[in-house]
Structure 1
Amino acid sequence: MTTTHDEPVLVSDDNGVRTITLNRPSARNAVDLAMATAIEDALTELDERRDLMVAVLAANGPTFCAGMDLKAFLRGERPVTERRGFAGIAQEPPRKPIIAAVDGPAVAGGFEIVLACDMIVASEKAFFALPEVKRGLVAAGGGLLRLPGRLPYHLAMELALTGKQISADDASRYGLINQLVAPGAAVAAARELAAEVAACGPLAVAATKRILQDSPGWPADEAFERQSEFTNPVRSSADAAEGARAFTEKRAPVWTGS
């Protein structure tokens, strides 16, 4: 995928890591339909390409994302794609892991984008909020569905019912984010984390993410049977044999995704 710097989203690929950068800094990276469509396209290609293992979602400018572009909304535009929903990610995140690199405010739909990611690296100047109730709206981009599983229930309820902000420092204390870093360091730290993921077996990574996501809804007496649907194909794959062979030969594995 090629991009130019005047596009709503910039995309670059390096050693199996795709970096997707929100690129409307003058609008605080508010999401319009063009941005949502571009995010969806970048994620769909991420899932389809064997040479890509993981994505980092970053943003240009001092604000990670201010949510939905209200000016576009008043023009009758909704930043929702048919497949992936709000911002091209909220309803159907990618099958492959995605890491949010947050170096500024992520509020409303911006926080919901972050919550749709699998891991979060945030700088000390970041904060998060779902202020929709203050505007007479409901956070319908996945925030209310995901937040209670990421924070203690009563804290999630307080944030959602009052629209209060939670700082990156407090988010770190409650386990909402993976790494708290200095201002300006979020993208680099997220790429380092992504490189660790990209070094692992692609089939194993995809299956592991799927199990972690889906298993909370499985009946206890079916959990191991359902898990085996994902693990058995990986165990019999060429990559599994390569991983064992590389370990015994004390070398880095060469994955083929098969």
Structure 2
Amino acid sequence: MIFDVKNLAMSPRLLPVSFTVEAGEIVHLIGPNGSGKSTAISMLSGLFAGDGDVQFLGKSIDDYDLHFLARLRCYLAQQDRPAFAVGVYHYLSLALSALGELDADRVQAALDEVCQALNIADKLTRSIQQLSGGEWQRVRLAAACLQVWPSLNPDAKLLLLDEPAAALDIGQEAAMYKLIRMMAEKGISVVMANHDLNRSLREADKVLLLNNGSCVAKGKPEEVMTVERLEQIFVTRVQRIEHGGKSCLLFTD
């Protein structure tokens, strides 16, 4: 087990919630703006104190030092851009700084795979200040994945993502979800805040539905994301249809 979380809370933004995360599991936190998703993700990172007991790999997350945490997990907060200018390749290299000396061939192989997956190989020589919002978000995602890439960091267990699809178009979003699934298949657990409910329905192994700081339901997406529950939480009409053998949600108001 990666996480055993009991009564995680930061009043009034997040009321007590308990859940577990298994190795290689993709967990989506969903809910309206202000429901507590970002608060929960930030507390799981070990960077922000709150109430409750977060057991990470069988040990309280409060007992880890930040340097060692950087080897075990990566936390990608909502989009921000440094004030300084640095090249994309250099920025990606900084993501590996906590890992010590690395084999150059392995680094290049991982870099090639991640950059190809996110279609940013042609951005490596540019400054991060010259990137569009969507390009910058993909660079940030690439850096996060490299930090916990198993061939570079065998200690890595977890990727925490706070609304990683922000600023991405539909093609870039599809590439991101494909990469996230690839990470999970490598044994990395992924916990992410998400607004695309159809993606959560199809891509998540487990869903936590939050509203006004409370956990309304948790479990498998098809069990949690019922039409009645979504209509109540998001205050809009919802239809659930089958298309191509998959369930889809339609929002009609």
The verdict on a shared fold, with TM-score over 0.5 as the criterion, is: no
The one of the two structures with greater contact order (alpha-carbon pairs below 8 A, sep at least 6) is 2
TM-score by length of 2: 0.30
TM-score by length of 1: 0.30
